[in-house]
């Protein structure tokens, strides 16, 4: 079996981590990575021993690479094409027609929200993306809820395999980043949010919640990640007088250490599939406050390992933060993080990720 994984290569968040982690579970001659951009993604993949081919574009609208990729698929006799993300999915329509290859996708986000705040172009690309998403031979849903979302789009349930994200859980926690290097003290209550700086991630909901907490009790928020609305979010934080409590850290390679130095992990998205960042928080025994999106209910147990609140509800978000602060003062918050680790380590391993992926691959090839 030989599979070509195709993604743009410009990603910096969960989908990038998912793809690299997944390909590490396969032999180098079984799984090859094709990208449209050279850069950090490609460099990281190569450093992991993953065979990585870059089909460079002159612009994101350059379609000349399609014939090159089609020839590559045929000449190297790939059995499967596995796309990730809306752009790769759109290209997959052509590659499927040209080569007849079996085609599977992992949907890392809700296609209805991929082009939020992109104007007329966004509406056009959303229409094209929704068209492409119905053309695959198989689908990976990273949660049961997301599987149901795909079914609602009219996709045959027999084509969908639920496959949970997985990470390498460790027995020991990471060495915490020194708080003083972040301008924080040991007494501060610290929350970390690892997410692309994009409207769908709900950062301003957290800002609104923080604004309503008294300055004496107000936590510090570490934002790990980069994205198209960084400047806008910095202005939003400043307009709420939160600049001294909201810290933009950008892209970091020491996420484990940052989580280990934190008291609470946050997710505030309006839409998600199954966020890999939450598993990274669980690995560091950090309890989670998340909006009710994707498969989070399959990881977080309300009242025992964290909090789940409705998307867009800053009041509920604030109340959960305040409860976490109280538990922290009472020395009880870490208990939730320990319970989360115990549950996640048994359920979201790399072994289950590989086995579930191979299961759908073999099922697709058996029906050729």
pLDDT grade, residue 86 (50/70/90)?
confident
Task: Kindly state the average pLDDT of the residues 333-357.
Answer: 92
Written as six digits, the tokens of 28 are 């180098």
Pick among 3.90.1010.10, 3.30.360.10, 3.40.50.2000, 3.50.50.60: CATH of 179-347: 3.40.50.2000
Q: DSSP of 37-62, one letter per residue? A: S-SHHHHHHHHTT--EEE---SSTT-
Tell me what the pLDDT averaged over the chain comes to. 92
Flag the least confident range among 34-38, 119-123, 143-147, 341-345.
119-123
| Residue 368 clears pLDDT 60, i.e. is over it | no
The CATH architecture to which 3-166+349-366 belongs is: 3-Layer(aba) Sandwich (3.40)
Q: What pLDDT, on a 0 to 100 scale, did the predictor assign at position 117?
A: 60
Which element (helix H / strand E) includes 277? helix 276-283
Handedness of CA 43, 44, 50, 54 (dihedral sign): negative
pLDDT grade, residue 115 (50/70/90)?
low
State pTM to two decimals. Answer: 0.74
Task: Kindly state the average pLDDT of the residues 300-310.
Answer: 96
Give the span between the Cα atoms of 177 and 157, in whole angstroms. Answer: 44
Task: Kindly state the average pLDDT of the residues 119-131.
Answer: 74
More confident residue, 184 or 271: 184
198 to 84, 126, 194, 230, 294: CA distances (angstroms): 18, 16, 12, 8, 17
**Domain range list for the chain:** 3-166+349-366, 179-347
| Residue 23 clears pLDDT 70, i.e. is over it | yes
pLDDT in tens, 184-238: 999 999 999 999 999 999 999 999 999 999 999 999 999 999 999 999 999 999 9
CATH fold match for the domains 3-166+349-366 and 179-347: yes
Give the span between the Cα atoms of 266 and 126, in whole angstroms. Answer: 28
């Amino acid at each position: 079996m030989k599979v070509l994984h195709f993604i743009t290569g410009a990603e910096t968040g969960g989908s990038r981590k998912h793809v690299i982690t997944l390909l590490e579970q396969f032999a180098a001659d079984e799984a090859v990575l094709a990208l449209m951009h050279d850069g950090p993604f490609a460099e990281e993949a190569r450093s992991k021993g993953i065979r990585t081919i870059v089909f460079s574009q002159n612009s994101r609208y350059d379609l000349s690479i399609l014939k090159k990729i089609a020839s590559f698929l045929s000449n190297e006799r790939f059995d499967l094409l596995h796309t990730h993300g809306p752009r790769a999915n759109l290209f997959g329509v052509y590659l499927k027609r040209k080569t007849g290859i079996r085609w599977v996708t992992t949907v890392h986000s809700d296609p209805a929200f991929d082009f939020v705040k992109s104007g007329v172009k966004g509406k056009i690309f959303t229409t094209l993306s929704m068209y492409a998403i119905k053309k695959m031979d198989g689908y990976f849903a990273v949660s049961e809820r997301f599987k149901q979302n795909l079914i609602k789009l009219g996709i045959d349930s027999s084509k969908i395999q639920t496959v949970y994200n997985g990470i390498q859980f460790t027995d020991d926690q990471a060495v915490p980043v020194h708080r003083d290097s972040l301008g924080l003290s040991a007494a501060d209550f610290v929350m970390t949010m690892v997410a692309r700086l994009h409207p769908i991630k709900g950062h301003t909901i957290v800002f609104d919640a923080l604004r309503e907490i008294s300055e004496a009790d107000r936590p510090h928020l570490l934002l790990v990640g980069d994205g198209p609305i960084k400047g806008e979010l910095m202005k939003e934080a400043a307009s709420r007088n939160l600049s001294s409590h909201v810290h933009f850290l950008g892209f970091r390679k020491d996420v484990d250490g940052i989580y280990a130095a934190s008291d609470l992990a946050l997710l505030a998205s309006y839409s998600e599939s199954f966020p890999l960042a939450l598993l990274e928080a669980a690995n560091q025994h950090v309890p989670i406050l998340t909006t009710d999106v994707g498969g989070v209910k399959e990881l977080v147990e309300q009242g025992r390992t964290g909090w789940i609140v409705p998307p867009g509800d800053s009041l509920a978000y604030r109340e959960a933060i305040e409860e976490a602060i109280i538990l922290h003062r009472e020395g009880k918050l870490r208990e939730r993080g320990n319970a989360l680790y115990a549950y996640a380590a048994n359920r979201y391993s790399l072994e289950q990720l590989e086995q579930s992926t191979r299961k759908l691959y073999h099922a697709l090839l058996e029906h050729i």
